[in-house]
Structure 1
Amino acid sequence: MIRINRLAFAAFASPDTEQLADYYAQVIGLSETSRARGTIHLASPLGETCVLLSHGDATACQALAFETSAETPLCDLAKWLDGHGIASELRSDPHPDIAAVLAFRDYNGTGIELFNAAPPPALVPPTPAISPLKLGHAAFYVNEIHEAVNFYRNILGFRIADWMEDFFVFLRCGPDHHTCNFIAAPRQGMHHMAFELRDWAHLQTACDWLSRSGYKLTWGPGRHGIGHNIFTYHRNPQGQIVELFTELDTMSNEELGYYDPRPWHRDRPQRPKVWSAKDAVNLWGDGPPPGHRD
């Protein structure tokens, strides 16, 4: 089994990369660190690359990149994948400051890139924009949700964080409650991506910045039951749903099997479970508006 340390970045195709690059810089507060081989690299204020943009016919998430344990060389991971019938490709110098990646596709057809060592954080200038801590997670539609779960658990070593009934699953690869989510649906592709903010005050100022920048919230603020994160959602200029969140549950001790206690938990201790949709979506108010799951 592959050991994943963290989600590093997501790669997107777009027919107008300049429009998206401007949004991520001026609204979200990422900084452009390089343009290499037709790809725009954008980093968080902490200096970690979290979004890649390249030209494509339609706006879509093409790949997720994960940092893996440096104890296992990528060539060994390639052999392990081959033994499980998964074709992969070792690529040299695919991105600035990353010497090699192992590339393959997940059950849903999304590209996966694994690399051993995190590049040193880049120096990025301060920005008055939202300035998230990191790319937190991404959610996808899948035709066969249990096939997706089996792939991420058995191949990539993810753990089940929670279920919403039988149609929405949350998976984690580290202490954060979830890194990848999957929604059973007759379609495929990304549902939303999410950036983590420092705290509730940061989320409040982010809402003001979105409004001044011409972006209206489509849902929130609220507090999800699953993960207990305070959330807002809006759409970027090419229609993708973007979540800004804070106070996400964490499990710092896997052996205990429950999430680190928080005052707002209603289960004590808060263990992974199957939630009803009514309790899962928003402890503060209404569920998602029409079109949120489209």
Structure 2
Amino acid sequence: MSSSPKIKVVRLAHVHYQHPQLDKAVQFLKDFGLSEVKRVGSRVYFAGFGADPYIYIAEQAPGSRRAFIGGAWVVHSEKDLQAAAAHPDASGIKDDEGPGGGKIVSITDPNGYRISFVYGQQLRSDPAVEETDRIVGGEPPVLNLALEKPRQGAFRRFNVGPSPVHKLGHYGYIVPQTVFQKTFDWYTSLISVVPTDAVFDPKTGEDATCFMHIDLGATYTDHHSFFLGSNPTGKPAFVHHSSFEVNDMDTQALGHKWLSEKGYTNCWGIGRHVLGSQIFDYW
């Protein structure tokens, strides 16, 4: 483990995937609720309706296999960016070609994946996709409950379509059991993430999964922005999934219906996790 100060991260920036059939991937991502905001060479950049200039890079794969390149984090200061660049496995600071500009530096983790750090991005002041676009007439999304009815005399009517994505929620890896602790130590000593919940395996006497949140001190943050799972089979490390936040259950259900009618295959959901309590829908 490193004795150097941790790189202070404040939120997730984006994830980066390579797709052998880029056109099909782009169409799926649009049906999923992301908005295309820029193309640079073989890369397509997507944003949500939040302030982040982009949250997903879809890139043409060099071969016939899909690949996860890595995830990126926004750092607190230029000093943190320089600290990342000083890492022995760092790429050096470069200009970010994506929307919003800024600087970016990448480090290769113990399993060959990239963790990148960005600083100086210009945030979006006029998001291209607004959640209210899904609501006929633009009514505010006020929720009525059994004992509380704040929305009176107004109905919610929705346009059919994708569920607009707000932001990147989290991503994570499944790694061989033999390197789980090493990978956990590497990430928690490098960046300011700390465990929130862990799943303990009584057979091995070790944690099998760990969910980590960004340490913002007394400021609340998401239950987890990153997670690691342990695989006892020895299969090489792989990305498990990336998660994206939407506004509410209504739009999530409408998005589920939209994807189903488009012929995409649902993996799991709609449901609710125990740890973290998120409503989920995997595709």
TM range (shorter): 0.7 to 0.9
Q: What runs of 5+ residues in structure 2 fail to find an aligned partner?
A: 1-5, 134-160, 201-206, 216-220
**TM (normalized to structure 2)?**
0.75
SS in 2 for 1:98: coil
Which residue does 2:81 correspond to in 1? 74
Q: Secondary structure at the match of 2:277?
A: coil
Runs (4 or more) in structure 1 with deviation over 3 Å come to 125-128
Normalising by structure 1, we get a TM-score of 0.72
Distance 2:189 2:258 in 1: 41
How many Å separate the matches in 2 of 1:207 and 1:93? 33
Which gives a bigger RCO, structure 1 or 2 (Cα 8 Å, sep 6+)? 2
Any gaps of 5 or more consecutive residues in structure 1? 235-294
Q: Secondary structure at the match of 1:40?
A: strand
Superposed CA deviations along residues 258-287 of structure 1, whole A, max 9, x for unmatched, are xxxxxxxxxxxxxxxxxxxxxxxxxxxxxx
Q: Which amino acid aligns with 1:59?
A: R
Give the secondary structure class of the aligned counterpart of 2:29. helix
Give the counterpart of 1:110 among 92, 108, 113: 113
Does 2:161 match 1:158? Answer: no
Deviation at 1:123, TM superposition (A): 4.0
- Confirm whether residue 11 of structure 1 aligns to residue 16 of structure 2: yes
Q: Distance in 1 between matches of 2:100 and 2:275?
A: 36
Alignment partner, residue 60 of structure 1: 67
Report which of the two structures shows the higher radius of gyration computed on alpha carbons: 2
1:94–1:101: 8 Å Cα contact kept in structure 2? Answer: no
Deviation readout 1:220-239 (Å, 9 max, x if unpaired): 222211111122222xxxxx
Report the CA distance shift for 1:198/1:123 in structure 2 as closer, same or farther (over 3 A): closer
Could you tell me which residue of structure 2 aligns to residue 142 of structure 1? 175
The correspondence for 2:56, drawn from 51, 60, 63, is 51
In the alignment, residue 195 of structure 2 is paired with which amino acid? I
Find the aligned partners of 1:167 and 1:35 in 2 and give their Cα distance: 39
* Aligned alpha-carbon RMSD (Å): 1.9
Map 1:123-138 → 2, pairs under 5 A = 123-125=127-129, 128-138=161-171
Structure 2 residue 271 is the aligned partner of structure 1 residue 222? yes
Identity of aligned residues (%): 24
Quote the residue 1:170 is aligned against.
211
